[in-house]
Structure 1
């Protein structure tokens, strides 16, 4: 028997080899990838709603392959094209026989008899002539396709690659182009319309041949009714539905995000983290403000909304709906722009974290010249002294520059690098002290990322037993399926401690009206928002960034070409957009107090320093633990007065037993000069009684000029040179002051210490001496 079998194998060896070769050829006859055609880049919201699409490289609206086909379209296309689809192996012998007989009788190709599986093969082999030999190839390939893929996958291939007229390919694109909706949302009539289109896409096109298209659609609907797939009412309503007249424009709800996605995910369908409703609301708000802003020739704006807890992008508006002449296609969100004052909270946090300052500590706000740099407040007015938190809330420039100088330019620059503000790429010396006022550039993405990191740090600190994540300053993500990595938990702060961040937010929450914006309209005060505005030099950039426990909203307004415009200010141009956005966001709870990073201590009510025994008024306040090293109040001194407290006295003129000893709040002369104009309750030190030998003390300072200033003296219409008015602040205005220019005596002043001089060109020394022997000097250079 074995011999017999062996003989048969030998006799059929050739046949066996041929059979194996044919089986191998059959196995490999179907290309691994059926379709290599380019596809559109498509972005969807987190809910699966289409946000935008870019046309494929071959000029076709062809969306990436569908994962599944909507049930209604599936029923319609099977009933119209291939009623036995779920029963045949890839081809239908009966349909082929009928088509062959009909074609032979007519002498031309009248009927194809192709199944949906065969049509998928034909679509993948585009450009092939329709011959009987080609039809045989299609049958073989169709059966191979049936082995490789399920019926549902084959339907998805068909729905993704069938032509629907013009340059529309695939069900997804067709649903949006002809009905302006997702395929899953289409009615029976709309699905029937799309089901009959691929049968003759070049002949039947929406807007043309309406009667033929309607007849085809209604025949299919009648079949659905006859098959009891739809009921009578549905059928009657369906045949009355109008046909599409012209293609809809595809949604461009987030076109700048689409362009960004297309750079890394070209030809892909990308589900983003964007919330469709919020994106549309943001677009509407930006469009509304754009109509107002363009009246002042301001044409561009951008908005970014982040989810603090997930660090996901919720809305992404890269520009206004302006025109090409005003750079409508520029994505502002990632463009470096001058920061204005928007980074002041970072400096404030850094100083609190270092323990160099407390929130209510008085900082100096007087005319200031540092080298060749002369910072000025927005209104060019000065408070003399103002609390640090109030200086931040009012965005005062002079205190910010002085605080940066005190903290250290290199030190602050180092922390900006750690916060990964990528556009701050030059050395600290390149920017100088103007770094804090807009001397550097950053972008809306990085700035919002940093504010979100601050907010997230506070949340995580409260949720994780006073621990920090190592990667809080991570990149946000706009991809739905991407999880942001915050790193690992540690007891060590990431950059700044949670207490300093919380106190910074407490200051920003109290922002009422930044300096110089008296017409600001208050937002809904029931919402607790930490927010900051910024305006760059030359009114080129207006910023507003706000944060709650749940959201960060960032706004930039300006012109993409950098042209400045009067009135382009953060509070009037950007902040209204910011609060319109917050109005559509859910209300958030405020941040929990990070008690483990704070210490409650007595603070001097007037100076904001830690209270000394001389502070007559103090209150308990939370400060960062690092703030315990700050010095006690330096502005309260012990003074000796007569019994009426009208004059200062000492042992040279008054017995000790007849003196009144009192704590007095005293500021240095120049600070005092500006401070008392804004604080009418401030009491200057009483003068020494005339019979007393006054103690020498620093009691005066120049208001103008500043040290080493260069002055140009203009001439009037008669050609005469105008004079220079010198001004001095004295802690006891009634004191006599003697003025000298170089070695020449100029005169004496009392109460109002001003002296006009007309010096010659060159360098001069100004000297003042008061009757108590106190002296002050200034060097100036007069230029022609």
Structure 2
């Protein structure tokens, strides 16, 4: 039995013209039935009917009938439904959304003259009265039309007594003259009970068959016709045999009435009856929940996501996370560059994954971005005219006051191009460039890209933000990379969660078009992971300090995708990295788009195609705008080897491995000495190699261009 239905107080629907019985005929017919059932006199009956007519509830407004909130994708396909306030699954549906074969079977089984009568089938009522008298006062059949059943469902009142039946008759008459036949049928399709907390054809079809009722087999349609007659006794998840018997009864009736052929009924009988309820769809679960919270009471909420892509990426994310451990989660965001619409949002490896805190939406969690901000740092240098992708820069130990960045692998490459520094994600050059362009400018451009960087309260941005010392979300990074992909033009991400349209993106560019193109050109050359094809997308990976977050963000000419892998509780995942954990998921996500990659934007005006030797003098080598930067003011220091250490070169076994001496600070060129004898001089490089004669102590020294020096003593073996 359905729970009570709240009746809307809005305007009644325009009635369809149909012959209406005069009130005296309705009253007379009611009295005939009452008398036939031995329930009293005419005067009392007339008074009762008048009271019923006066006390009828307002006709429900189908548009405001309480139903489950249905969150749908951009094409109207169901992503996730929510129960009503009473805990029932009652999904909105229209006649056009239900298989026509089911409608024909329902009408043939329940109410053959539904389209002709005015709410009451008098021959059926008289038959029911005769059966009542013949059975010695026991109700054999009710004679209810579909309209009378709708009246019962609206009022949620008992029906197996004469007073309830009379009220249904009066109410059915009112419904027939206020609603169209399709409106009445819509109410039945929405409210009919199907066992437990399942109400309506749409919820029933999803619960028992896992699909929408637009396409039903003959067996499925017959079962859904039979269930509302005895919704608890025939529940297939509790008594499949009773459900099968009820279904077959409907099939027999359909054959007898010529609705279906005997062969079709025989084939339907062989189709198994479901024995358990299926889970309702729960795609984009985090976003759907956020939407329902933001728009309480709304019947239908349309998100921007694509159901097919969302489903594919949720399966991908769950499978990939499972290979990394039970406490590892994963998040994916896919956005259209032109509109900013989010096409897929995977918040975790599984909403109910307890060990990995699947309820936490990691697309909006604030985390350390690792190296993923480097493209914007270099883009600012290109925009300011400080560098070109082929400009040379030093990757060597460098100190900035008390901050001494090191590369991820602990090694320095010496002189490299900006292109190589970004493609290889070298830390030291990135911080040198960030020091030149300014941390305040970087934070400002992040904001222009509609990101929301988080810094500790009361602190100013320092150079560490270039290597992940700032909090951002996966959506922030997708927004930043979308701007780069668009030639520096910002876009506001939109998901349909909030009822009002989002504010338009600001007009100030994140980068100028030439600078954005340089960045994209470099990122397109980054070697892909083992499962990827080179040159398909431009992408960047990142790994936060302590192996807590692994990132991969990439784009082609149309779509941008961001991937995060890690533990929601912030604990390290030893060995995790952007290239090994996140990048494979990124490339597989692009494969799931189901369309060929769209080429990146062509080069805009102002792009300079040149090798290093062809560049203008000021661009051949990256120069800090401040000629007196702290690293040149400080005296040179031997960064490796450290003073007093033992260095194992395998000399005792006859090895001739050289000793690499590395220098930080000071002004090049540098001259290197071993026990007072010079062994090398470098114009720009901050390291040199020396091959010792044998094991023992050695004093290493370095002198810079200004005569400043440093020395260490080490033992070689």
Q: TM-score range by the shorter chain?
A: 0.7 to 0.9
**Following TM superposition, by how much is the alpha carbon of 1:749 offset from its aligned partner in structure 2, in angstroms?**
4.5
> Who is 2:556 aligned against?
548
Kept in 1: contact 2:638–2:710 (CA 8 A) = no
**Following TM superposition, by how much is the alpha carbon of 1:306 offset from its aligned partner in structure 2, in angstroms?**
1.9
Alignment gaps of 5+ in structure 1:
1-21, 459-467, 514-519, 613-630, 637-667, 672-697, 716-724, 738-746, 755-765
The 1:600–1:565 alpha-carbon spacing in structure 2 relative to 1, beyond 3 Å, is closer
Distance in 1 (alpha carbons) for counterparts of 2:621 and 2:344: 49
> Who is 2:658 aligned against?
none
Kept in 2: contact 1:46–1:275 (CA 8 A) = yes
Cα displacement string for residues 48-82 of structure 1 (whole angstroms, at most 9, x for unaligned residues): 54433334443322223446433122112111111
**Following TM superposition, by how much is the alpha carbon of 1:439 offset from its aligned partner in structure 2, in angstroms?**
0.8
The 1:172–1:559 alpha-carbon spacing in structure 2 relative to 1, beyond 3 Å, is same
Cα displacement string for residues 530-568 of structure 1 (whole angstroms, at most 9, x for unaligned residues): 101110011000000111112212110000111102211
> Who is 2:37 aligned against?
none
**Following TM superposition, by how much is the alpha carbon of 1:308 offset from its aligned partner in structure 2, in angstroms?**
2.5
Distance in 2 (alpha carbons) for counterparts of 1:416 and 1:732: 37
Distance in 2 (alpha carbons) for counterparts of 1:701 and 1:751: 20
> Who is 2:492 aligned against?
474
The 1:304–1:702 alpha-carbon spacing in structure 2 relative to 1, beyond 3 Å, is same
> Who is 2:525 aligned against?
510
Pick one of 530, 535, 538 that aligns with 1:521: 530
> Who is 1:704 aligned against?
638
Pick one of 587, 593, 602 that aligns with 1:593: 602
Distance in 1 (alpha carbons) for counterparts of 2:711 and 2:128: 106
| TM-score of the two chains, using structure 2 as the length reference | 0.77
Matches within 5 A, 1:329-344: 329-344=359-374
**Following TM superposition, by how much is the alpha carbon of 1:159 offset from its aligned partner in structure 2, in angstroms?**
0.9
> Who is 1:534 aligned against?
542
Kept in 2: contact 1:274–1:314 (CA 8 A) = yes
Kept in 2: contact 1:307–1:550 (CA 8 A) = yes
| 2:70 equivalent to 1:42 | yes
Kept in 2: contact 1:477–1:484 (CA 8 A) = no
Pick one of 129, 141, 163 that aligns with 1:100: 129
Cα RMSD after superposing both structures: 4.0
Distance in 2 (alpha carbons) for counterparts of 1:408 and 1:497: 17
The 1:406–1:733 alpha-carbon spacing in structure 2 relative to 1, beyond 3 Å, is closer
The 1:423–1:100 alpha-carbon spacing in structure 2 relative to 1, beyond 3 Å, is farther
The 1:308–1:147 alpha-carbon spacing in structure 2 relative to 1, beyond 3 Å, is farther
Pick one of 67, 90, 100 that aligns with 1:62: 90
Kept in 2: contact 1:533–1:545 (CA 8 A) = yes
| 2:105 equivalent to 1:173 | no
Pick one of 225, 247, 261 that aligns with 1:217: 247
> Who is 2:307 aligned against?
276
Kept in 1: contact 2:541–2:578 (CA 8 A) = yes
Structure with the larger strand share: 1
Distance in 2 (alpha carbons) for counterparts of 1:440 and 1:427: 12
**Following TM superposition, by how much is the alpha carbon of 1:32 offset from its aligned partner in structure 2, in angstroms?**
4.8
Q: Secondary structure at the match of 1:148?
A: coil
**Following TM superposition, by how much is the alpha carbon of 1:327 offset from its aligned partner in structure 2, in angstroms?**
0.7
| 2:516 equivalent to 1:501 | yes
> Who is 1:751 aligned against?
679
Worse overlay, 127-136 or 494-503: 127-136
**Following TM superposition, by how much is the alpha carbon of 1:457 offset from its aligned partner in structure 2, in angstroms?**
4.8
Kept in 2: contact 1:74–1:155 (CA 8 A) = no
| 2:380 equivalent to 1:350 | yes
Matches within 5 A, 1:673-684: none
Kept in 2: contact 1:27–1:144 (CA 8 A) = no
Kept in 2: contact 1:352–1:500 (CA 8 A) = yes
**Following TM superposition, by how much is the alpha carbon of 1:477 offset from its aligned partner in structure 2, in angstroms?**
2.0
Distance in 1 (alpha carbons) for counterparts of 2:370 and 2:235: 55
Cα displacement string for residues 593-622 of structure 1 (whole angstroms, at most 9, x for unaligned residues): 2433x2447x4624x7x334xxxxxxxxxx
Distance in 1 (alpha carbons) for counterparts of 2:167 and 2:414: 91
Kept in 2: contact 1:55–1:61 (CA 8 A) = yes
Cα displacement string for residues 212-240 of structure 1 (whole angstroms, at most 9, x for unaligned residues): 44343233223333444334432331232
Distance in 2 (alpha carbons) for counterparts of 1:236 and 1:749: 101
> Who is 2:474 aligned against?
444
Matches within 5 A, 1:635-714: 702-704=636-638
**Following TM superposition, by how much is the alpha carbon of 1:712 offset from its aligned partner in structure 2, in angstroms?**
10
Cα displacement string for residues 731-760 of structure 1 (whole angstroms, at most 9, x for unaligned residues): 7777879xxxxxxxxx84422699xxxxxx
